[in-house]
Amino acid sequence: MSRNRQSRPSLYGDGSVVRRMQELVDTLAWVRIELASAGSAPPPGNGAIRPDRALAKMDAALDIAKRLVFDLDAELRTARDESTAPPA
């Protein structure tokens, strides 16, 4: 039981959740700035570049969020299963 815990470090303990959440926040902030700038500035030769880049970043942010949710869910299930496992 404890062997599984040692081979897979906690998402919470090593700070990876915080780093990934910060990455998500940074990406969403970038998208917000990019979209706001695209709406207020006159379009250059190719006016669709900024919104296209923002949409690509939004897709990346959604992917980060999806991975984070799946990883957190897996860890919570593992913790729940380990706490309800009968003693060996």
Report yes or no on 2 lying in a domain: no
Nearest alpha carbon to residue 6 among 71, 69, 78, 86: 78
Tokens of 44: 């250059």
- Averaged pLDDT for residues 70-82: 84
Number of domains in the chain: 1
Residue 87 lies in a domain: no
**pLDDT average, residue stretch 43-49:** 65
Is residue 4 a part of any domain in this protein?
Answer: no
- Tell me, letter by letter, the H, E, C secondary structure of 49-79: HHHHHHHHHHHHHHHHHHHHHHHHHHHHHHH
Tokens at 69, concatenated: 């949710």
pTM: 0.55
| Any domain includes 49 | yes
User: pLDDT tens digits for 51-65?
Assistant: 788 888 888 888 888
Residue 42 lies in a domain: yes
Distance between CA atoms of residues 59 and 66, nearest Å:
10
Q: Does some domain include residue 36?
A: yes
Domain span at residue 73 reads 14-80
